Amino acid sequence: PEAYHYGERSHKIINAREHGARAVLRVTHPGAPGEALPPLRGLSQSWSVAAAFVTRAVGDALLAPSGQRLADTAAAIDGALRPRPFPLPGVRARLEVSLIRDRGTTANVVGILPGRDPRLAPEAIVIGAHYDHLGRGGEGSLAPDQAGAVHHGADDNASGTAAVLGLARAFAAAGGAPRTLVFAAFAGEELGLLGSAHYARSPAHPLDRTVLMVNFDMVGRLRDGKLYLGGVDSGTGLRALAASVSVPGLTPDLRGDPFAPSDHTSFYTAGRPVLFFFTGAHADYHRPSDTWDKINAPGLAAVTAFAVEVVARAASQEAAPVWVKIQTPPSPVRAGGYGPFFGVIPEFGEAARAGVRISGVRPRSPAEQAGVRAGDVLVVFAGVSVKTLEDFTFALRSRRAGEAVDLTVVRDGAEVRLRATLAERR
């Protein structure tokens, strides 16, 4: 894992920048078949230095004045699994870059079913799932050898979208529920919870009167009847409520942790109780092989029936769940890789002008103990200037548990300097 981390594009570029590089030229490995340059598609990223892919011929031409060969250099690095830096005196390169920044617009799709009880109708339950996937792959794909192939996303997350539609149909046919129900199909989850983060900032129903968010992500591969239901400790009474529901053929695995790389996290960090429905990971995740024929349709129907009953009870009980601050440091929100534990939750939906905005801080984490607060913008971490989330990931991964690091956050327009001692990741 460590070698993989050091080989990542973001690490190489930021590491070079931190050592004073003005540009980074990446060369296709001499042992790789063919030499097609990777397509420059994907999310817009800013490294603060110019970066480009070049052919092996260009790489050899740059090394030639120093008496080096690309193949020999690559073999030495592969053998030792360590960098082999050397200067290129007198070598100059001219790089011209022409980028097309294609900005897209997408939308959340929201429907509201008004509550029928005048006393409870002012309160709402959000029932949501993300409807986006990976298109033809890109950086999120786990099948890089199938670049350009359609990534169908049947389980991730057509299954969750279908569950939301199923609940909407069931409650509409029943004439609604005592509380208002908001059905939401979120965009941009695969890009970093963008749609749900936007909803949390600009809700269709006031967030302070939203008593619960129920999220469905990958609920189409039920195996042995096991349904993972997360977040049952995020609000008072949720564990007991979930335990009181029974559907034939379904064995709920109730989990208190509300944190996971999905849209409900945008609500929990905003102070709303959440429930997260999930039937488990599988080998087709983020690959073209996540197709409709592998969906367990009866299992999806059972999960949806279970969810209908959970929502019906939550929508009718007198006492609404009250948000609970979870005291156990959970696993990281996004696949941030390896490294020590710091304990912040970055805000993915709306980038700060410079730095990483913090949407939440994990209880009893190094970040909380250092004094980091939700709303802070992290601008320096362990001596690394933090302009993007990639900068922060680089800086954190470069440190070890037990190490004390200095950091700077911007809070209410003023810089605040803090010191944290990193912990082991659990």
Tens digit of pLDDT for each residue in 71-103? 898 888 888 877 788 888 888 888 887 777 778
pTM: 0.73
d(CA 131, CA 108): 9
> What pLDDT, on a 0 to 100 scale, did the predictor assign at position 264?
97
Contact criterion met (CB below 8 Å) for 200 and 266:
yes
The secondary element (H helix, E strand) that includes residue 126 is strand 124-130
Q: What share of the chain is helix, strand, coil (3-state, %, to 5)?
A: 30, 20, 50
Distance CA 369, CA 24 (A): 37
Q: What proportion of the chain, given as a percentage, has pLDDT over 90?
A: 54
Question: Which residues are CB-contacts of 120 (< 8 A; sequence separation ≥ 6)?
Answer: 178, 179, 315, 316
In the chain, the N- to C-terminal Cα span, in Å, equals 16
**Model pLDDT for residues 304-339, shown as the tens digit of each residue:** 999 999 999 999 999 999 999 886 444 433 334 447
Query: Distance between CA atoms of 121 and 118, rounded to whole angstroms?
Result: 5
Q: How far apart are CA 373 and CA 389, in angstroms?
A: 17
What are the chain's domains? Answer: 2-80 (no CATH), 109-316 (3.40.630.10), 344-421 (2.30.42.10)
Query: What's the residue count for the chain?
Result: 426
Give the integer Cα–Cα distance in Å for 73 and 63: 10
Give pLDDT tens digits for 121-176.
999 999 999 999 999 887 778 887 787 899 999 999 999 999 999 999 999 999 99
| C-beta of residue 289 within 8 angstroms of C-beta of residue 151 | no
